[in-house]
């Protein structure tokens, strides 16, 4: 029984020492090493690249939208000119007759020739 009491006292003392050491750890600070950064490293760690990226993305999106509109306008103009040229010259292709392809005969072909 005596050993049990001595062991408990020893463990309580050890726990108290550990508790006090753990509480004192945040107060112990190591001197901070001064790290020299060159201009590029400071610029990369600042917020400038993110702002530059956001501005570039906004500019690119705006430019692409405007160029898309311009391309569509040019496409419409070219299509109108092509339609005008084909209708004026009469060079437009005739519409395909799908009845010939499927074998169906029109009413004119079904009637016998009159004398």
pLDDT tens over the chain, length 115 residues: 889 999 999 999 999 999 988 887 776 667 777 777 788 888 888 888 899 999 999 999 999 999 999 999 999 999 999 888 877 666 556 666 677 677 766 555 666 666 5
Q: What is the pLDDT of residue 42?
A: 84
CA atoms within 13 A on the CB side of 19: 6
Q: Tell me the C-alpha distance between 70 and 54, whole Å.
A: 25
The rounded radius of gyration (Å) of the Cα atoms in the chain is: 45
Tokens at 106, concatenated: 């029109």
């Amino acid at each position: 029984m005596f050993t049990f009491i001595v062991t408990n006292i020893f463990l309580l003392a050890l726990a108290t020492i550990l508790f006090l050491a753990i509480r004192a750890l945040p107060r112990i600070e190591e001197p901070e090493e001064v790290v020299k950064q060159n201009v590029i490293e400071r610029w990369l760690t600042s917020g400038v690249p993110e702002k530059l990226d956001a501005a570039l993305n906004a500019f690119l999106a705006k430019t692409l939208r405007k160029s898309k509109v311009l391309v569509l306008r040019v496409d419409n103009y070219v299509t109108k000119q092509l339609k005008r040229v084909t209708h004026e010259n009469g060079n437009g292709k005739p519409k395909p007759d799908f009845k010939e392809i499927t074998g169906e005969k029109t009413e004119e072909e079904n009637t016998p020739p009159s004398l």
